[in-house]
Structure 1
Amino acid sequence: MHRTRLTRLAAASSVLFLLAACGGGGDDNTGNTTSRDVPAAAEDVDGNIDKSKVKKELVVGVDNPYYLFHEDILVAQEKGYLRDVGIEKVDIKTIEDPLPALIGGSLDLALYDADTSIAAAKKSNTGVRFLSVYLGGEANVLGVRKGINSAADLKGKTITGGQFNSRNDAILRELLTKNGVDPAKDVKIVSTGGQSNERLQSVIAGTVDGASVQLRHRGLLEKAGGRFLFEETRRVPQNGWAANKLLTESPETVTAFLAATLKARQFITEQTNKDAVLDLMRKQGFEIPTDFADAYSAENAPTYHVVDGGFDPADMDKFIADQISFKSVPEGTDWREYTYLLPLWRAQKNLGLPLRPTPGNV
């Protein structure tokens, strides 16, 4: 996904302002359900959903207008998976920063960056908890303009990973180093704002010679004569669902929502369903050009758009440690204190999936 972390830092600042206004930051962890009723083993997890305890209507916040971040809900709605668990309507709000609304109570759930949600949970003590992973893969791609075909061709060229000291900037430097390019000597790295779409346009326009871009940009870049020079995909639990008051007001609803949307995700990540999913998204008003549709297999791979909502604790350890070093997450944050996995485990069990992470291994 990789939006620039400048946006996230601004988002974090707005969250902290709200928390101060709300009196957050105390020691009582209001609404914290993570300290109780957490099973020690898979056999202790109940996968049955009591529909009589499920809220019929939900309002959720999604931070990205791209169809990838809406499809689970819309497919679950279209296929009847939401109704099967007692949810009749989900109203999706596209909000650049959904966390203040989640903390304030106008959103039931929010889909946002895992690190930003965990950082807000630590600062607020309002009960915000990270629930499950949505995107668990991270594509690191250096896209370059026409005429650059090798690492040697980068000598003296200008490239960007977005805002300096962001995650994008850091992983671009790592990518260069892995491919034999010295970020400090061989290229000129500049700091830029905007998201990956803007960086792509900067490469096409010749404003920069190369930039950190996304998998869906391959076709657009190649049509302009450019190419993906370096690329890798690694496991990073970068994005997922978080909840706050709903965990105490209607915990059954959280499990129901995850079960329905994970069932939809299983449909989505089955590649033979590509045309059906994209047709539905277009009917819902999403613009999906051919180049973006061509990225479906990569963006909706079960290891990228994580099919079970789970993650490896070691991957989360590294991700949060990285984000602490980038100052996106407060020093000393233990993500386990602000992550509540019982609803995910119950949803996984309801769907007949292995429980991941394994209870007792978090």
Structure 2
Amino acid sequence: MSRRHLAPLALLLAGALVACSNSTPAPATQVIPKTESEIVSAIDTAKVRKTLTVGVDNPHYLFHHDVLVALDRGYFKEVGIDNVTIVTTEDPLPGLIGGSLDLALYDTDTTIAAGVKSRTQLRMLSIYLGGEANILGVRQGINTPQDLRGKTITGGQFGSRNDFLVRKLIRDAGMNPDTDVKIVSTGGQSNSRLQAILSGTVDGAGIQLRHKGMLEAQGGKFLLQETAQVPQVGWSAGKLLAESPETVAAFLQATLKARQFIVDPQNKDAVLNLMAAKGFQIPQEFKDAYADENAPDYHTRDGGFETADMDKFVTDQINFKVVPSGTNWRQWVDLMPLWRAQKALGLPLRPAIGGFQ
């Protein structure tokens, strides 16, 4: 997953917006039910906001198709929402905290950190991408880890998770990332890192599953690859959660229903045709990666996560100084809307209620 790591900017803006955000009451501490029977799944459409504006930071269709499929198939109408507008922006957190955005799809760690720093009503709601594909792609002529010696590699910005992951791949391959290769810091998302390989700017870089065909067409390859369960990207809300929790539950129910449609391989053509009709450029390499990028263990089918995975992820990000030391992430999530949506769709509750009691 291509992580943006605009955490310093996001946290700075979060602090700047805290004064105006405090005018809206923060959501009450989340209520943890004792049993699933206490969760009311039915949506009261009379309490649901009819129009919403959501922020998404990545232009790749994968980050838009839950909302667009839900609109196209009428799932939002079923729960009382008439229209959802998507705003693509590098950093949706200022708009979410300030109130111009109702929900945002963004990095879990950065969102939690912004909530801690701003002390606003910002809360994580559910997970969108729960799998992390850690891939080192290399140019033509590099065939073994030993061929990396002396070569120029990038994982993105120094200190980012991508940078950490590329160093881990090199270390796991039996090499020292500090002495055996030359690691450089670069900006941009994974598409930019792919172009850096293809142009010869670097010899290898951390890239994504969808880049395999384009890289191989130029003689390159995926040299090193690991996967893990990391609850890295998800939906969050601020003022909307305080003012209309019913709307948040309705939004998650509609988009998770769309998710069930999307992850079914039989619906691949229908989804891709819809996204192409919406103006997304989807080269054959992206089409070929559909099954991998929409696999239920990557594009999380139920919006949930395991508490142990979140514990590890947040601990890692505290060590990287992305999340403030001492953060208890459980204080910065509200799972009731997710649990309501999961129950309505007949999905098991995940995380389990017992992990929060």
Instruction: Work out the CA distance in 2 between the residues paired with 1:70 and 1:325.
Output: 31
Please list the CA deviations of residues 19-63 of structure 1 after superposition, one character each: whole Å capped at 9, or x if unmatched. 2x5376xxx99413234x321222211111111111111111111
Unaligned regions of 5+ residues in structure 2, if any?
none
TM-score (norm 2): 0.97
Q: Give the one of 330, 351, 355 matched to 2:349.
A: 355
Instruction: Work out the CA distance in 2 between the residues paired with 1:341 and 1:314.
Output: 16
Residues 138, 235 of structure 1: 8 Å contact kept: yes
Residues 241, 248 of structure 2: 8 Å contact kept: yes
Residues 4, 167 of structure 1: 8 Å contact kept: no
Aligned to 2:269: 275
Instruction: Work out the CA distance in 2 between the residues paired with 1:222 and 1:157.
Output: 19
Q: Aligned to 1:302, what secondary structure does the other structure show?
A: coil
Please list the CA deviations of residues 294-345 of structure 1 after superposition, one character each: whole Å capped at 9, or x if unmatched. 1111110011110000000011011111111111111111100000000000
Q: Give the one of 35, 39, 42 matched to 1:45.
A: 39
TM-score (norm 1): 0.95
Is residue 297 from structure 1 mapped to residue 291 from structure 2 by the alignment?
yes
Q: Aligned to 1:348, what secondary structure does the other structure show?
A: helix
Aligned to 1:233: 227
In structure 1, give the amino acid aligned to 2:140. K
Aligned to 1:32: 27
In structure 2, give the amino acid aligned to 1:31. A
Is residue 312 from structure 1 mapped to residue 303 from structure 2 by the alignment?
no
Q: Aligned to 2:353, what secondary structure does the other structure show?
A: coil
1:147 CA drift (Å): 0.3
Aligned to 1:183: 177
1:4 CA drift (Å): 4.0
Residues 98, 110 of structure 1: 8 Å contact kept: yes
1:92 CA drift (Å): 0.9
Assess, with a 3 A threshold, how the Cα gap between structure 1 residues 23 and 55 changes in structure 2: closer, same or farther: closer
Instruction: Work out the CA distance in 1 between the residues paired with 2:45 and 2:55.
Output: 23
CA RMSD in angstroms comes to: 1.5
Q: Aligned to 1:208, what secondary structure does the other structure show?
A: coil
Assess, with a 3 A threshold, how the Cα gap between structure 1 residues 270 and 111 changes in structure 2: closer, same or farther: same
Q: How does 1:1-362 map to 2 (within 5 A)?
A: 1-5=1-5, 7-19=6-18, 21-22=19-20, 30-35=25-30, 37-362=31-356
In structure 1, give the amino acid aligned to 2:118. S
Percent identity of equivalent pairs: 61
Instruction: Work out the CA distance in 2 between the residues paired with 1:69 and 1:10.
Output: 22
Residues 33, 340 of structure 1: 8 Å contact kept: no
In structure 2, give the amino acid aligned to 1:227. K
Residues 14, 93 of structure 2: 8 Å contact kept: yes
Q: Aligned to 1:130, what secondary structure does the other structure show?
A: strand
Instruction: Work out the CA distance in 1 between the residues paired with 2:83 and 2:171.
Output: 48
Deviation >3 Å, runs of 4+: 21-24
Residues 131, 341 of structure 1: 8 Å contact kept: yes
